[in-house]
Structure 1
Amino acid sequence: MTTLFVNACMRGEDSRTLSLCREYLSTVDGEVTEINLAERDLKPFDAQMVADRSAKQKAGAWDDPLFDLARQFAAADHIVVGTPYWDLSFPATLKIYLEHVSVCDIAFRYTEDARCEGIVKARSLTYITTCGGFVEGMNFGYEYFCGIAKMFGIPETRFVAAEGLDVVGIDTEEQLARARAQIAKLG
């Protein structure tokens, strides 16, 4: 089994989210490939990039490096997304990454009756996050990934969070321990 770890932990090794991700990843079988978004120079798609990608799609130039991230994502058996809870969702670089992997005829396709059909190999996506406060029904980052998973044909999504980590008076270690217990149940 191959696991793709999409690391959007912008604080690097100081990230509590990354720490939880590493604990989870130590339990998965098979090969783990990490893409560290803090180390990538991904650009958001502008009009010219969209035109270039469209031309390469029409030409069937699927081996072009422009599609490397999409092919990598589509080929993984399991996807793990590690990201802090920022501004009700996640860091912008993660959205930019999704622009790069959301490629028609690699991650999804349209059927003859105009339905979107996911063609990603992964059977599950695990979303791991930490929050300074509490999500409280505004988990737009995870909800977005649930939509992406559905679009890409990934049947199962799972969520782990350590919340309230910056709230005065909260036992941070207890909150992290709760998240670790969630991770242990995912096994």
Structure 2
Amino acid sequence: MTTLFVNACMRGHDSRTLTLCREYLARKQDVVEVDLAALALKPFDADMVADRVEKQTAGAWDDPIFALSRQFAEAGDIVIGAPYWDLSFPASLKVYLEHVSVCDSTFHFTEDARCEGLCKAATLTYLTTSGGFVGDANFGYDYLCGIARMFGIPETRFVAAEGLDIVGIDVEDQMDKARAQMAKLG
């Protein structure tokens, strides 16, 4: 089973989120990484949407415009690593999800107009860190839960190391709490 790691850790090797992700993924076998900083995807504009719709209509599913969507739909497990930014996550992750959200690839509509997911993943695991304590305001995780439902991924899981930028806090203790949560995920 392929684990797709969506790396939205925009600070690269300095990212504490990426540190947690690497530790979590070390237990996995077949991991494929999508580094969003390296991809530098553009948000869809009118021309890009028209081009994608034209290729969808023609059934040109081998076109590179669908590569990320195909990869996401085929993965057996999804791990997303992203820091807590502006009540959610970096914009690059939203843009990536825009590229992945393709009708008849990651989801489709039934004859009675219900959205039905087409992804093979059994779980979507979201790993994050934050400078303060977020509490119930992690709207990024809420958004990913909605995307998982839309794509037919039955289980979402969440691990966060919080308070990492608070003066005087024991950062390693906070990271260890997240590590303990990750260990329970299996």
Q: TM-score, normalised by structure 1?
A: 0.98
Aligned residues: 186
Who is 1:21 aligned against?
Answer: 21
Who is 2:81 aligned against?
Answer: 82
* Alpha-carbon distance in 2 for matches of 1:41, 1:130: 22
Contact 2:40 2:92 in 1 (8 A): no
Cα distance, 1:107 vs structure 2: 0.2
Alpha-carbon RMSD: 0.5
Who is 2:152 aligned against?
Answer: 153
Who is 2:11 aligned against?
Answer: 11
* Alpha-carbon distance in 2 for matches of 1:7, 1:135: 21
Cα distance, 1:88 vs structure 2: 0.4
Q: Secondary structure at the match of 2:51?
A: helix
Q: Give the alignment of 1:4-153 within 5 angstroms.
A: 4-28=4-28, 30-153=29-152
Percentage of matched positions with identical amino acids? 73
* Alpha-carbon distance in 2 for matches of 1:41, 1:67: 16
Q: Secondary structure at the match of 2:31?
A: strand
Q: TM-score, normalised by structure 2?
A: 0.99
* Alpha-carbon distance in 2 for matches of 1:168, 1:136: 19
Q: Secondary structure at the match of 1:180?
A: helix
* Alpha-carbon distance in 2 for matches of 1:38, 1:49: 20
Cα distance, 1:41 vs structure 2: 2.1
What stretches of structure 1 of length at least 5 have no aligned partner?
Answer: none
* Alpha-carbon distance in 1 for matches of 2:10, 2:40: 13
* Alpha-carbon distance in 2 for matches of 1:112, 1:131: 43
Q: Which amino acid aligns with 2:22?
A: R
